[in-house]
Structures are given as structure tokens and as C-alpha cells.
Amino acid sequence: MTHPSRYSRIAFVASPGAEAQTALAQLIDAYGNVEPADADVIVALGGDGLMLQTLHDHMRTGKPIYGMHRGTVGFLMNEYSAVDLRGRLAAARDTVIHPLLMRATDVNGEVHIHHAINEVALFRQTHQAARLRILIDERERMSELVADGVMVATPAGSTAYNLSAQGPILPINAQLLALTPICPFRPRRWRGALLPNSAFVVIEVLEGDKRPVAAVADHDEARNVRRVEVISDKKISMRMLFDPGHSLEERILREQFGP
């Protein structure tokens, strides 16, 4: 069977687990392997952690990424099969996502800049709850949140840590961000907010010397932060490929209606 040649050159990446490494060897034997810089498409073999890492590694290349589940959690992955991979790639559908850009300033004035595909989260560093002030588009919206922390999540990340913190699930094409508290103490019943994805979110740490706070963009951490700025980076567009009927949109819908 012949298929369009737009994905003829494939770069495979895999997590170190046995399942992923076995699949890697099988697929390279069947389809060859090129360096990511020379590839038309990158195929990631593993779980969601590997997919996030692959998206980070190739964030600025514009290359489409197609994941196959050979790991633990596979929400962002397609089902694994070594059969007719080029046919699956030709039939796959694009989902375009934009990362968050975090700019965190620490107690020494050092600025930490990182991107996040799932969420930017602030966490208390000690036994004491964090005290945080929240501004949206330079207007104060909450003078004091006392909590274990707070996060800003993308639609792609809304089913990850955000959902575990009782945050809302967002359709992948929604022009929204979720602002979700982590174990809020005051206001106790505040469940968070939905923000337009054009929002400029600023979180200031109150009493940072007494109640230190860390900021994490996916897996990049800055400690003892005083001010964290978050915005959706529309300059970066990442293409994820999903099998028809197995799109990220469909899985996010399924998550909202149970198993």
C-alpha cells in the first residue's frame, strides 16, 4: 500500500523501559530511522512523560509528533502497533497546542524563564501554607489566597494535575486556561477560575521569607520565588498527531463522562 510521502522520514524516540525499547528496535527494523533534524515526523514510544519531554525538546521545530503508548500513562498517546505505520501517519489528524511561558523572579532577583505544556504550578516549600496574591491583566482579582499552591493549566494539561486538584477539564480547542487552587484554606470554597488564553496572569508571593514558594513549569523548577508571570505563548505552535476517532478532543470528552 502506498501513502503520501510527507511522512517518509521518521525519527523514533523511546523511553528507557523494556516495552518501549523492544518497540523501538522493531520499528527501526521495519521503517528505518533518521535524526530528528532530518525527519518529517517524530514518533515517540512511551508514556505521557516521554511525550511531554519530546514536545519540549522539539518545541520550536514545528515538526509533528505522533506518540504510541509503551509506558505507564498514555493519555497523550495513540495505541501501539507496528503495522502500516506510514498509513496511520498519513491518516492522522493534527491537534495544535501552544505552551505556557513562565517568568519567575526569585528572592535574589534572578529571573527564571521556562515553557510548560501542561501547567505552571506554585507550591509551598515548607509546612506552612503559601500566601499568594493574584492579578489578571494587571488587575488584582484576589488579594490573598492561602493554600498549598495554585496552578495555571492549558487544555492539554487540564486532565493531568489540574484534574487531580479538582480543576475543570477543558476541550483541547477551547481558548481558555484553568486557574486552579491546590488545597485552598482561605477562601476555603474557592474552586478556581476559567480565564481567556490571552490572559496575563501574575501571582505574587506574600511573606515569602516565612512561607517560601517554588514555581514549576512542567518539570522545570524555580525555588524561593517572589513573583511569577504566566501567559500563553502564541509564537510557538506544536503539532500532535492522533489516529482518527482517537483524537485528544475525543479523549477529553470521554474523561468528562466517565469510563
119 annotated binding-site participant? yes
160 annotated as a binding-site residue:
yes
Residue 75 CB-density burial (10 A; 0-12 exposed, 13-18 middle, 19+ buried): middle
Q: How many CB atoms lie within 10 A of CB 148?
A: 16
Q: Is 57 annotated as a binding residue?
A: no
48 among known catalytic residues: yes
Contact 240, 65 (CB under 8 A): yes
Strand-pairing partners, residue 140, are 135
- Asked if residue 138 belongs to a known ligand binding site, the reply is no
Q: Check the annotation: does 108 bind a ligand.
A: no
Taking alpha carbons only, the member of 120, 88, 86, 80 closest to residue 101 is 120
158 is in an annotated binding site: no
15 is in an annotated binding site: no
**Which is catalytic among the residues 29, 38, 40, 48?**
48
First-residue to last-residue Cα distance in the chain: 36
The answer to whether 2 is annotated as binding is no
The answer to whether residues 126 and 211 touch, using CB atoms and an 8 Å cutoff, is yes
Contact status, residue 168 vs residue 178, Cβ threshold 8 Å: yes
49 annotated to a ligand binding site: yes
- Binding-site residue numbers for NAD(+) are 48-49, 118-119, 148, 156, 159-164
Catalytic residues: 48
- Binding-site residue numbers are 48-49, 118-119, 148, 156, 159-164
